[in-house]
Amino acid sequence: MNLEKLKPLAMPIGFVLIVLLLIVPVPAPLLDVLIVVSISLSLVILLNTMFVKKPLDFSVFPSLLLAATMLRLGINVASTRLVLGEAHAGQVIDAFGQVAVGGNMVIGFVVFLILVIIQFVVITKGAERVSEVGARFTLDAMPGKQMAIDADLAAGLITEDQARTRRGEVTAEADFYGAMDGASKFVKGDAIAGIIILVINLVGGVVVGMMMHGMDAMEALETYALLSIGDGLVTIIPSVLMATATGMIVTRSTADDDLGTSTTKQLSQFSTPLVVAGVAAIAMGLIPGMPLLTFLILGAALILAGRAASKARAQEAEDAEKTKAADAVQPPKDPGADLIARMRTSPVEVHLATDIVDLANGSPDDLVARIRGVREQMALSLGLVIPQVRTRDNVELLPGTYRILIAGTTAAEGQAPARRLLALGGDLAALPGAPTREAVFGLDGKWIPEEMRTTAEMAGSAVFDRTTVVTTQLASVLERHAARLLSRADVQTMLDAVAADSPETVEDVVPALVPASTVHQVLQGLLSEGVPINDLPRILETIAQRAGTSKVVEHLVEASRLALAPVIAERASLDGVLTAVTLDPVFEQGLLEGLRTGPEGSTITGSLDVFNRLADGVRTAVASRVAEGEQPVLVCGESLRADLARKLDSWSVDVAVLSYTEASSQPGMTVRTAATVGGDRALA
C-alpha cells in the first residue's frame, strides 16, 4: 500500500489506540514498547524544536503536544492496572525502580520530586508565561503588521502574491501563539497528574499488597514504592522533555539558522568574553582544594576558542573589505533606471481608505481574490486580459471611501464603510443607516450595520457586502475603459496565439495588408463600444477582406461589427427581446444629408440645437425604459452609426448604438421598438 495514503490516517489511528489503551488491559511486554515509544517521541519533538528556524515551521506542535500527553496518560493507566493487579509492570519500569535509583525508595522519591519541581516550577511555569505574553503581543501587533504589508505592496516592494502570503503568515502566527497559550496548560496538567498518579499507585499498592497478597506493611511499601517510583520516572522524563520542547518553541525567535548554528555563531561573535572566561577558570583552579587539571583544561579550551573566534572575525572583515573594493571598481548603477521604475504608472489601481484596508485581508474571499474573479469574467466576456489590479491604502481618502484609478487618473470613487452592508430596494425607510446612491445602477440604498442583514432581507431589500460593491463598480469601470487597457503588447500576444493555430490567418493580414498598430486601433474601437474581441480570427478575416478597398480604421471597425453582429445583438438583448429606440425617419434623413465622409471616417454635420434635442430625446427614452427594467439600444442606419455613437458618448448618453443590420442579425430574436425620437417629432 502507498505510504502517502496512510499519512492522513496516522493521527486518527493513534488516538483510537490511545482510547483502547485506557480501556483494554495491556501485557507487560507491550507496555515496555509503549514506554520506549513515548520517551523516543518526546526526544524527537524536543530535537525538532532546536532545528526549526521559526516557530511556524513546527505549527503542528500544539496538537502534537496534546497527542503525546494523551499517550503518557494512557500509559499511566495501563501501568497502574499492572502495578496494582500483578505487582509487576514490565522491564522498563522495573529497571527505573531498581537501577536508576539504586533500589532505594527514598532516593527515588527525592529524584522524582526534583524532576517534578524542575518541570512544574521552572520549565512549565516559564513556558506558560511566555506563551501567554507571546499570544497577547502577537494579536496586538497584527494590525501594524498588516499595515506594513499594505505599505510595502503600495510601494511596489512586493507583489500581490507575496502580500497575500505575508498576510497568511501573520494570521497563522497569531493562531499558533493562541494555540500555544492553551497547549501550555496541557503540560501543567500533565505535571500535576504525574504527582497524583504516583500517590494513588503508592497508597493503592500498599493496600492491595496487604489485603490481597498477604504482605506485611514494610514489604508492601518497599515493593509498591519502587514500582510506583519507576512508573513515575518513566512518565515524568518524557513529560519533562515535552515541557522543555514547549519552552523551546515559544522562546524561539525567527532566525536564518537552526538553534545550534545560531548559538555557536552568537557565542563566538566576540573573542574577549571567551578569553576572559578562560583566564578566570585557570585562576579558580589555583584555589587550594580545587581540581587544578580540570580547570586548566577548561580554561585552555576557552582561550583557544577565543583566539579562533578572533581570527574568524578578522577573516570576515578582510573578506568584506575585498567585496567592498570589488564593488567600488564596478561602474555605478544608473540612478535614472530606479527613477524610471518608480515613475511607471499601474494600469489599474484600487485605493482604500486606511479604515477599510481589511477588505484585502488575505482570506479566500477578500477583495484581491474577488478582483481576480472580475479579471477572469472580463477575459471570458470581452476577450481582454485585464492587467494586474494593484490594491493599496491611501491616507488621503476620507474614511470609508475608495478610489479606482486607470493609468494614474481617477476613474471612479465610492463608499464602503467599515462594518456596514449596502441595502438596495425594499422598505429602506424602516432601516437604520446612511442613505446613499449605488454607483453603477444609480439605485437608492442605505449603508446598514452588519447585524441588520436579516432585518433588511425581511424588509425586502437586497443586501450586498462591501467587497461586492467595490468589485461591481470596478467591473463597470474596467468595461468602460477596456479600450485604454488594451496595449500593443496584448495585441501581439493575441496575434501570436492565433498564429500558433492558424499562421496563415495572421500572415495574410499582418503585415501583408495592415500593420499591427491598425489591428490594435480596430480592437480598441470594438472594445470602446463593448464589443467582444475574443473571436480574433473572424476579426482578422474581416480586416483582410475590407482592407482591399479601405484601410480607414472606422471602416474596418464597422466591417468587423457586421461580422460579429449576432454576438452584438445577443449581448444587447434581454431574454431574447431587443428593446430598440429608433430615429424618426424624417429626422434620420436629415442626418444622412448632413453626413460628410473624410479620410479618417464619417462625420454628421448640423446645428447644435438639433443635436441637443436629439441627445435629450434619446436620454429621456432610454431612462424611461431602464426604469421599466429593460435594456434599450439606439438603432439607426449603418452609415450614421459610428459618428452617432461617438457623439452620444461625448454627451454622456449611456446607450449602445446598433445599425439596422446588427439589430436584425440574430435569428429568432424579437426586436421591439419602444420609442422613436427625432427633434420636434419625438414620440414615446
β-strands 389-393, 348-352: how paired?
parallel
* Alpha-carbon separation of residue 216 from 209, 210, 213, 461 (angstroms): 8, 6, 9, 84
How far is Cα 285 from Cα 279, in angstroms, rounded to an integer?
10
Lowest-pLDDT range of 57-71, 446-460, 514-528: 57-71
What's this model's pTM, rounded to 2 decimal places? 0.54
Contacts of 247 (CB under 8 A, 6+ apart): 123, 126, 127, 130
Instruction: Enumerate the β-bridge partners of residue 423.
Output: 446, 463
For 576-637, where are the alpha helices, taking DSSP H only? 585-593, 608-627
182 grid coordinates: 492553551
Percent residues over pLDDT 90 in the chain: 25
Q: Report the side by side order of strands in the sheet with 420-424.
A: 434-437, 444-449, 420-424, 462-464
The larger pLDDT score, comparing residue 151 to residue 171, is at 171
Lowest-pLDDT range of 141-145, 154-158, 310-314, 660-664: 154-158
Q: pLDDT confidence of 683, banded at 50, 70, 90?
A: very low
49 grid coordinates: 524544536
Q: Is the pLDDT of residue 33 over 70?
A: yes
Q: Is the pLDDT of residue 681 over 50?
A: no
Dihedral, 368, 373, 378, 384 alpha carbons, nearest 10: 70
- Give the H/E segment covering residue 607: none
**pLDDT at res. 187:** 67
Q: What is the mean pLDDT of residues 359-364?
A: 73
pLDDT tens-place string over residues 295-353: 788 888 888 887 887 777 777 777 777 766 665 555 555 555 555 555 567 889 999 99
How far is Cα 357 from Cα 228, in angstroms, rounded to an integer?
60
**pLDDT at res. 119:** 65
The domain spans of the chain are 3-17+45-264, 268-311, 348-479, 486-563, 570-684
Q: pLDDT confidence of 536, banded at 50, 70, 90?
A: very high
- Hey, which of 25-39, 132-146, 158-172, 636-650 has the most confident mean pLDDT? 636-650
In degrees and rounded to multiples of 5, residue 460 shows phi and psi of 90, 10
How far is Cα 643 from Cα 648, in angstroms, rounded to an integer?
9
**pLDDT at res. 252:** 66
Three-class DSSP labels, 182-223: HHHHHHHHHHHHHHHHHHHHHHHHHHHHHHCCCCCHHHHHHH
**Strands, E, within 63-149: which ranges?**
none
pLDDT tens-place string over residues 262-275: 667 776 777 777 78
The larger pLDDT score, comparing residue 570 to residue 176, is at 570
Q: pLDDT confidence of 42, banded at 50, 70, 90?
A: confident
Superfamily of chain region 348-479: FHIPEP family, domain 1 (3.40.30.60)
560 grid coordinates: 468587423
Domain 570-684, CATH class in plain words: alpha beta
| Other beta carbons less than 10 A from residue 606's beta carbon | 13
- Hey, which of 191-195, 317-321, 622-626 has the most confident mean pLDDT? 622-626
How far is Cα 24 from Cα 398, in angstroms, rounded to an integer?
67
User: Which amino acid, residue 588?
Assistant: E
Q: Is the pLDDT of residue 680 over 60?
A: no
434, 417 contact by CB (below 8 A):
yes
Average pLDDT, the chain: 81
- Hey, which of 57-61, 253-257, 379-383 has the most confident mean pLDDT? 379-383
Q: pLDDT confidence of 152, banded at 50, 70, 90?
A: low
499, 506 contact by CB (below 8 A):
yes
**Helix axis angle, 217-251 to 160-211, nearest 10°:** 170
111, 101 contact by CB (below 8 A):
yes
Q: Is the pLDDT of residue 464 over 80?
A: yes
Residue 503 burial by Cβ neighbours in a 10 Å radius (0-12, 13-18, 19+)? exposed
pLDDT tens-place string over residues 626-643: 888 888 999 999 999 999
User: Which amino acid, residue 45?
Assistant: I
Architecture per CATH, 486-563? Orthogonal Bundle (1.10)
How far is Cα 390 from Cα 295, in angstroms, rounded to an integer?
65
pLDDT tens-place string over residues 555-609: 999 999 999 999 999 999 988 899 999 999 999 999 999 999 888 888 999 888 8
| Other beta carbons less than 10 A from residue 88's beta carbon | 13
Residue 167 burial by Cβ neighbours in a 10 Å radius (0-12, 13-18, 19+)? buried
14, 67 contact by CB (below 8 A):
yes
Q: Is the pLDDT of residue 106 over 80?
A: no
Q: ∠ CA(241), CA(245), CA(250), 5° rounding? A: 155
Q: What is the mean pLDDT of residues 354-377?
A: 83
Contacts of 424 (CB under 8 A, 6+ apart): 438, 443, 444, 445, 461, 462, 463, 464
- Give the H/E segment covering residue 635: strand 633-636
Contacts of 9 (CB under 8 A, 6+ apart): none
Grid-cell match 480604421, residue found: 553
Grid-cell match 525538532, residue found: 48
Q: pLDDT confidence of 682, banded at 50, 70, 90?
A: very low
Q: Is the dihedral of CA 567, 573, 577, 581 positive or negative?
A: negative
How far is Cα 187 from Cα 584, in angstroms, rounded to an integer?
87
Question: How far is Cα of residue 63 from the mean position of the Cα atoms in its chain?
Answer: 23
Grid-cell match 424624417, residue found: 586
242, 71 contact by CB (below 8 A):
no
